[in-house]
Homo-oligomer: A and B are copies of this chain.
């Protein structure tokens, strides 16, 4: 269990030789309850502290940071604990292959595709791959986003929303801009802390930020188009 932390990165500005605290103080500083911290320790999500007596351990800034990361993934990202553990395994295994890294983190952060007729789903995945090819995007065939997007198409059609594919096509231009912003962020953060952590934090916080901004933009756009707050008239 401990071996996963052999490569645990000490973030610049965080001295492991600095002041250390007991678990109660760690709880106070992070707002995470002591029993929860003990659970994370047992599950290997938090590296063990330095034992100062058989029943006492002391924790440092790396523990404070790790707890904040865990809580951000759970509270902001809404990730289940099992997924958090998987993501942390990536964080603890630094890689210098950015594409592989994106793949690992994205796999962990994507829910599995829901059950649906294998044939319908496979056909929709072919459609998504064709769209990716048409766009000149690069993507491995088995990327989880391919099946997620295929599931969206299958569901939209089953609900009689076939035109939703047009909306997806219009989202493409938008997504390309998001990709540029995201890679800029990862590159800008190089040297500040681990690239893996930037990918994880950027992905999880970014998802939530984008969804929140989408909601606000919808309300704003609606207020702009229909200032009298009434239902728009159906097209003739």
Contacts and interface: CB of A to CB of B under 8 A. Distances in A.
Given A167-B202, A191-B234, A214-B179, A111 B151 contact: no
Interface stretch (A2-10, A15-23, A44-52, A170-178): A170-178
Given A75-B114, A178-B174, A229-B100, A216 B139 contact: yes
* A contact residues, range: 35 or more
Number of copies of this chain that the complex holds: 2
Given A191-B235, A214-B179, A138 B72 contact: no
Chief secondary structure at chain A's binding surface: helix
A219 B187 CA distance: 14
A38 interface: no
Interface in A172-201: 172-185, 187-193, 195, 198, 201
A96 B235 CA distance: 15
